[in-house]
Amino acid sequence: MINIVNLHAEVEEKKILKGLNLNVKAGEIHAIMGPNGSGKSTLASILAGKEDYTVTAGNVEFDGKDLLELSTEDRARQGLFLAFQYPIEIPGVSNVNFLKSALNEIREYRGEEQISAKDFLALVKEKSALVELDSKLASRSVNEGFSGGEKKRNEIFQMAMLNPKLAILDETDSGLDIDALRIVANGVNKLRSPKNAAIIITHYQRLLDYIIPDFVHVLYDGRIVKSGGKELALELEEKGYDWIKEELASNAE
């Protein structure tokens, strides 16, 4: 699905990613954990195409295409979805109207027919129920006046509407109470299939009780320094990150 090889990136000449490797296959869920400032959100932003970052080395292959050569919108049209850590409020732009335009632009790109108004409404109804998002919220201005939990649920609602091949969830669990967390996780699990994949970036092991990852990686100082199964998340929760730092230091000696 996505193969990231030796990715180096910087912002304003500050090196953030320093040779990151990650290979995600269809059907897999990968969790990326790591202390603050290790480069987790930078990775998500770069994959989605945010122009604030400069990739200085490495490459990313997504579904057979050179991802870094594609514009942000073409990445989305190829099936990449980023659930934002801080979803943006866009006053006056209706959530469902823009999703309809987005869906149709994606379909046009893929040479598919436009979605009918009837089918679209049915899709909105089905997918908003999935994340228990009030249909009134779904048709309001994008994220305007939404609570933190509503914003995150709206991200998963949009993800469900667009049905991506690869979903990247950037700290979608941060700031969620337990009910909202369960709803979000439930949405993600229902969308899980052998054809798609997800990268879940998180601080906390808690989310991984609900979304069981196939692999857990530790991102530290711009590289993935340790990988394991779901039990690695539990270990990190219990022991923090210091033991990994120590391990790295002793390996370097």
Partner 1 sequence: MENISKIQAFASKFKETNLAFTPTSIADAKNTLLHLDFPTTKTEFWKYTRLAKLAQLRLNQEKIRENEQVVAPLTDNGIVRITNGYITSFSKEIAGLTITPFSKCSEQQLSLIGKKADLKQNIFLALNTLYSQEGLFIEVEENAQIEGVFQLLFHAHGENCFAPFRVFIHVKKGSAFKLIQQFTASGEHLFSLPIVEYLVEENARISCDKLQMENASSFLLCEDYSIQKRNSTVLLNTFSISGAWVRNNSSFLIEGENCETNLNGAYLLKDLQHLDNHTIVDHIAPHCNSNELYKGILSGKSTGVFNGKVFVRPNAQKISAFQSNANVLLSDDASVNSKPELEIYANDVKCSHGSTTGQLDENAVFYLRARGLSEKSARSLITQAFIAEVVDKVEQKEVRDFIKNKLVELHDWTN
**Site residues for partner 1 per CB under 8 A:** 48-51, 71-73, 75-77, 81-82, 84, 87-88, 90-93, 98-99, 101-103, 105-106, 109, 141-142, 158, 162
Tokens coding 116:
């009918």
Min dist CB 71 to partner 1, Å, is: 7
Q: Closer to partner 1 by CB, 141 or 174: give it.
A: 141
The count of other CB atoms within 10 Å of the CB of residue 234 is 14
Measured CA to CA in angstroms, residue 13 lies from 10, 37, 101, 150 at distances of 6, 16, 37, 36
Tokens coding 61:
């292959």
As a whole number of angstroms, the distance between CA 194 and CA 112 comes to 23
Q: Cβ contacts of residue 5 below 8 Å, gap of 6+?
A: 21, 58, 59, 60, 61
Min dist CB 143 to partner 1, Å, is: 9
As a whole number of angstroms, the distance between CA 192 and CA 164 comes to 10
Min dist CB 111 to partner 1, Å, is: 14
Q: Closer to partner 1 by CB, 171 or 216: give it.
A: 171
Tokens coding 126:
């089905």
Min dist CB 40 to partner 1, Å, is: 17
Q: Closer to partner 1 by CB, 164 or 222: give it.
A: 164
Nearest to 103 by CA among 160, 47, 50: 160
Q: Closer to partner 1 by CB, 162 or 208: give it.
A: 162
Q: Closer to partner 1 by CB, 170 or 173: give it.
A: 170
What one-letter code names the amino acid at 83? A
Min dist CB 92 to partner 1, Å, is: 3
